[in-house]
Structure formats: structure tokens, C-alpha cells
Amino acid sequence: MENRYAAAVSGKGDAELLQILRERAGYEAEAILAAADEAERRNLPVPNLGHIKQDALHQYTLQQ
């Protein structure tokens, strides 16, 4: 799946990515998935990243 937020998220700093992942309620599921993928690429320490991705993917699927 191509993520429309991937390019925007890749330009964000580490702190911004972590903020998106901490404050998920304010973001669309697709944006959370992009932030999670980028955090993974950067090897950022994100607690429960797998769970965050799973929840966001579930929400994204429901929206489709």
C-alpha cells in the first residue's frame, strides 16, 4: 500500500515522529502508519511500536 503521508513524515525530525506516535488520537491512521514505518527505519526506540502499527492498520482497514 502506498502511504500518502510517507514523504511528509520522512521530512520530520525524530521528536516530531515520536510526538505523532504518542499523541495518536489527533492523527489519521495512515499518518500513524507512516510515522511508525519511519521510526522503524530510523531505529527509534518506540515502546509498543508493533502494537501501535497493528492498531493503526486495523483503523485504516476499517476506514476503507
Tens digit of each residue's pLDDT (9 = 90 or more) over 22-51: 999 999 999 999 999 999 999 999 999 999
Per the CB < 8 A criterion, the answer to whether 32 and 52 are in contact is yes
At 64, the pLDDT band (50, 70, 90 cuts) reads confident
What was the pLDDT predicted at 44?
Answer: 97
Q: Report whether 9 contacts 17 (CB < 8 A).
A: yes
CA–CA distance, 64 with 51 (Å, rounded to integer): 20
Cα 64 to its chain centre, rounded Å, is 17
Burial-class residue 51 by CB neighbours within 10 Å (0-12, 13-18, 19+): exposed
Global pTM value = 0.92
